[in-house]
Amino acid sequence: MADSIAQHYHQRTKYDPQTIANKGRQLDWSKQPVPYKDYKLGFPVDLKPYLEKSPAAPAERLWWQRLSRLLVNSYGLTAKVMTMTAEPLYLRAAPSAGGLYPAEIYLISRGTSLLPAGLYNYQVRTHTLLRFWDDYPWQALQEGCFWHPSLENTQLALVISAVFYRSVWRYEDRAYRRIFLDTGHLLGNLELAGSLCDYRPHLIGGFADDAVNQLLYLDRDQEGVIAIAALADQLQVAQNLPLAPTVLPAPVQTQFPKLADGELLPYFHQVTQIAPDDRPPPRYPISPADDPAEPIDKYDLPFCLKISTQSSSIPWGEGLAELEQTLLTRRSTRRYTGDPLTQAELLALLDFTYHPEHLSEQGFDAQPDYFDLSLIQTFIAVSGVDSLEPGCYHYAPQAEELRQIRFKQFRQELHFLCLGQELGRDAGAVVFHTANLAQAVERYGDRAYRYLHMDAGHLGQRLNLAAVRLGLGVSGIAGFFDDQVNEVLGIPEDEAVLYITTLGKPWKSGS
């Protein structure tokens, strides 16, 4: 079968050592995007007074504290750095490729005694919710989400949109990958901050794009909704909801016009939308055959070296206090020492990332929502982990095993594969998330591309937080020589590389 648009997009946006030099161009700083959205009119609801925790506060105040903490721990401003321009750059709880923050968060209230019905934009700079529309939007949201069951009993929903230009300014067509990876990190934070604040986000990835965009008055040429989460209040019995499907398929498009650079991203986004009048209309739940399966251990090579990854889980403190501390202090490491990780550290990272069920006793969600993890594979290039032979391993989450596929010290190659970034060379372990695109497209149409990148980002965020909690360094890398990663590390060639997370001992001044 001919390549579909998702496969075409992926192929077209690969970095390759032969062509990357031609792509290098100067950034136009006069057109640098502003990572905030302003509204001319609206009613601000200040969440700052509720940042402070007072467990004995009246119920009403506690409700505001939970919402305020959910948002600040997920996407709030957590650091200020000076830049070459006059403006300081504010970093957020979620990492973002290039610090461009393409994602916006909206909150939709069905209408509660404390938060009137309406549309709210989360104004990150001031930690306020700005009510810019005060109509009753819930039914339109339900319609736009094809009557997703999680919206039946919930009162609040978070909607994440992407302002494409913020990331396109720097990354051009390849920005689409980073936008969804960024959003995956944000969804990871929402999931975990939800555990802190007694909210359970139920993800909705299948919605009528235009309908939801219109509901939020988005300019469809500039921005689009990319993920929705119904926020179940775990303190309300009626909102302890069963799991529901998180995805709907969209069409597969194998015929498309010749697209010039710069046209590819908007076209791809447009054709992976779900139309409100799709016939037959997509319905939740989707058929059991489409039901996302458990992660599978896809590669099992006979006779290869296998290492059990069973490990005790990371402790997160009384009331998950260490989780909040980690969410608010997480930073991407800019430089590693090159010293090795211990094997116990690597195993603890894997345990936290791929086995949430091991953490439920500490108060985490045992089965957080992803779009479809069964499509994603994990490979790890080990360069410096005590008592682990350097090489490339496939991680089999069900068997809890690392299975060696190639043995070699790959440090120099990793440096090259990560576009010459030292983070790749000096890390102790480099994690690759991959997917078979053809299979993913077969399951969900070209929209699968969105789901895959959000899930890879979500896994990346769990790795980030576990690393920071263990005092390790961590950084995502979305710029890499795609095909060469497979060739050099021995990753099967039909596994498209989605994302890289580097892990190592952080360099500190004086170390």
Ligand X SMILES: Cc1cc2nc3c(=O)[nH]c(=O)nc-3n(C[C@H](O)[C@H](O)[C@H](O)COP(=O)(O)O)c2cc1C
Q: Which positions lie near ligand X, rule CB under 6 A?
A: 91, 95-99, 178, 181-182, 185, 331-332, 421, 423, 475-479
Q: How far is the CB of 4 from ligand X (least distance, A)?
A: 24
Reduced to 3 states, what is the DSSP secondary structure of residue 42? coil
Q: Are 370 and 274 in contact (CB under 8 A)?
A: no
Nearer to ligand X, 66 or 185 (CB): 185
Q: How far is the CB of 275 from ligand X (least distance, A)?
A: 29
CA distance 389 to 350: 17
Q: How far is the CB of 318 from ligand X (least distance, A)?
A: 26
Strands 128-133, 89-92: pairing kind: unpaired
Nearer to ligand X, 252 or 474 (CB): 474
Q: Are 270 and 257 in contact (CB under 8 A)?
A: no
Burial of 2 (0-12, 13-18, 19+ CB in 10 A): exposed
CA distance 152 to 477: 38
Q: How far is the CB of 492 from ligand X (least distance, A)?
A: 23
Q: Which residue's C-beta sits nearest to ligand X?
A: 95
The count of other CB atoms within 10 Å of the CB of residue 409 is 14
Nearer to ligand X, 98 or 116 (CB): 98
Q: Determine the residue type at 149.
A: P
Nearer to ligand X, 33 or 479 (CB): 479
Q: How far is the CB of 163 from ligand X (least distance, A)?
A: 16
Nearer to ligand X, 5 or 327 (CB): 327
Q: How far is the CB of 33 from ligand X (least distance, A)?
A: 15
CA distance 361 to 202: 20
Nearer to ligand X, 56 or 82 (CB): 82
Strands 306-308, 43-46: pairing kind: unpaired
CA distances from 476 to 328, 345, 405, 427, 511 (A): 18, 18, 23, 12, 23
Q: How far is the CB of 464 from ligand X (least distance, A)?
A: 8
Q: How far is the CB of 108 from ligand X (least distance, A)?
A: 26
CA distances from 465 to 28, 77, 119, 456, 474 (A): 34, 17, 31, 14, 9
Nearer to ligand X, 149 or 504 (CB): 504
Nearer to ligand X, 359 or 500 (CB): 500
What residues have CB less than 8 Å from 156, skipping those under 6 apart? Answer: 107, 108, 109, 110, 112, 115, 230, 231, 233
